[in-house]
Structure 1
């Protein structure tokens, strides 16, 4: 079956590319081949089922800093299609977006179904053919044409777009077409930690901490959530994304140092000495300081060689130093990781040196285009992975529809 453009993968990037190609050039017959019985699976579960469409960051130089892999390469593309363009694209099609306090953007409806319906309606309106249950078995190129084999027969097309996300089978086929694949490792994961100091207090959030991985220059800051199995929230997820390769090398066994109050040991000690005078008769356990959650304060106090009865007046030099260290440089042993919700992201994929980022076309194989996470691009959590998908897919569409 001969088509003008075949898109492999019916996810966010695949649909966005297909719709924009068909809209910009209605002459072209566009077909999406999706291996599952329905598409847009990641869109459905993103943001807890609300779909975190993008992030309210409107300066390309700032936006690229959220991509551990792809920072340099995405700067040019973001000048072509950016957050503002994404918002406008959806609003033109009746989907209003809203900005939450942390900058994440969601449909006003708070439902990912709104985004899915928008894509399905647009695809139908622009006569995009969507074929489900069509896994791709092989991709071969002969005399300017791509031959794509599926269990339902062969498809032939002059141009193809690969938007399959992190799919090892497709990466193998791309190697046969001359591409180098960087071995995928998980990104965006939480840290497994067994430690008395965080035991039995899941759900506690320290709002603004600094975390660094000992023995590396990896560090991050932001909220930290204590969970049943360890630690999560942006400060940890950022570390996992920027440290994806380094932490994989260490087999997810390493130490982190947490500064719960973002002060130096010396400054913290000065405050504690003043408190020793001002609150002399009170028990330390019951007088939570530094805006810390009460349950976390209790744990750190008990970890500093004190008990629930110890009063400020009774503190000796060693106990003061212990408490200052627990507050500003608490060391935890990480032993393993857990995937962050359903939003599984990998670092790895098609080598970025082999892509022309003006068009997202392969430098190795003419008329082969890429969009989304099939490339070695990934981002921290917050809508950035989707923005990469929209940008790449839009630029692909512009190149092909010409």
Structure 2
């Protein structure tokens, strides 16, 4: 159930490993592999070049222990080899994200569609399953069009649901779930003057959420609605439930020059004053920050354009130091990062066997992908969860 990455991977592998199976993918919409298509700006971030299972599992804010066990069955190197055996080479970029060498998600889509065709996997579109009931043959599935389907095995790979009510048909199978909340979103700063700098990117900043121990360091992007970039998206994932409870209204602090704290930066300013006191502050900043952002800080501190380093008074200097190392933003709301949209929440992991992906409550009922309570940060981790869960479910079904 579900024509996304996890559903396809389960279907094509089950059909390949056991030719006696008649495998059907049912998809409620008119689109297949839609997240694969848009992921990574249309390039498809297939997985991440991390080959340490323990380290990899830390990239999942929810479900880390579950995937750590799962990765003993099917891990990143297995994903790379699986696609390579089918003529799809993957490449790793500097940040570890892995893409097809073609830089096109269509390469991944075509590969999966070829597998489905080669192993006679049937695909039914506009087929919305509304209930799963036990039957003599295994399961009886009812569609929204009042059609009845039968199956010996069912793998639910429907993706994440944004609303708790959408899990109702699954709770009727005896399962519970963790309520869904958004993950991987940007921080909105309505009417904040920094948004006038949209498009400015800082390659290394430290972002903290006040009142928590949560922080991330790396690239930050200023947008017309607020703050984005890899660091903000990662932080939103780790803090997803906490921020949902706050209705996405919270304070965040950014250190734009994370090699310094307030004290060491004050000392550095003294050194700058002594070394090159005649230089105008506006002409060139000594921290490698984008010039527009540097000028924004100077203007906020009401430092005139004619000010030399040696002329900077203590009060505006201290204010500038604080803005560089402890800039406080009041966030009000979120904006979904559409390409990487992920829902935190899903079927309770204690009800699923990580060795088989089979339900512990209903024999021959399996789960794969984002419908379970596992979600990763941005960078290929959610697709790896889809490949791993889909393959393990397929392997189990094929061997039964």
Asked if these proteins are the same fold (TM beyond 0.5), I'd say yes
1:157 to 117, 141, 151: 151
1:126 to 100, 103, 119: 119
Q: Deviations over 1:222-274 (max 9, x none)?
A: 10011111110111001100000000111111110001111111111111111
- What is the aligned-residue RMSD (CA, Å)? 1.4
The offset of 1:170, in angstroms, is 5.5
Matches within 5 A, 1:259-270: 259-262=255-258, 263-270=260-267
Matches within 5 A, 1:45-64: 45-64=38-57
Would you say 1:207 and 2:203 are equivalent positions? Answer: yes
1:367 to 364, 367, 371: 364
- Counterpart CA distance in 1 for 2:322 and 2:223 is 22
- Counterpart CA distance in 1 for 2:268 and 2:301 is 16
- Counterpart CA distance in 2 for 1:116 and 1:81 is 20
Secondary structure of 1:356's counterpart equals: coil
Matches within 5 A, 1:9-48: 9-48=2-41
- Counterpart CA distance in 2 for 1:332 and 1:294 is 20
2:388 to 391, 398, 401: 391
Q: Tell me the equivalent position of 2:189.
A: 193
Flag structure 1 segments of 5+ consecutive residues without an equivalent.
Answer: 1-7
Q: Deviations over 1:69-113 (max 9, x none)?
A: 111111111121111100000010111111111111111111111
1:249 to 234, 245, 249: 245
Contact 1:45/1:112 (<8 A) preserved:
yes
Q: Tell me the equivalent position of 2:231.
A: 235
Q: Which moved more, 1:314-323 or 1:382-391?
A: 314-323
Q: Tell me the equivalent position of 1:85.
A: 78
Contact 1:134/1:152 (<8 A) preserved:
no
Contact 1:305/1:322 (<8 A) preserved:
no
Contact 1:164/1:374 (<8 A) preserved:
yes
- Counterpart CA distance in 2 for 1:386 and 1:380 is 11
Q: Tell me the equivalent position of 2:171.
A: 175
- Counterpart CA distance in 1 for 2:270 and 2:284 is 14
- Counterpart CA distance in 1 for 2:393 and 2:53 is 19
Contact 1:197/1:299 (<8 A) preserved:
no
> Which runs of 4 or more aligned residues in structure 1 lie more than 4 Å from their structure 2 counterparts after TM superposition?
none
Q: Give me the TM-score of the superposition, normalised by structure 1.
A: 0.95
Secondary structure of 2:281's counterpart equals: coil
Q: Which moved more, 1:273-282 or 1:345-354?
A: 273-282
2:213 to 217, 231, 249: 217
Q: Give me the TM-score of the superposition, normalised by structure 2.
A: 0.96
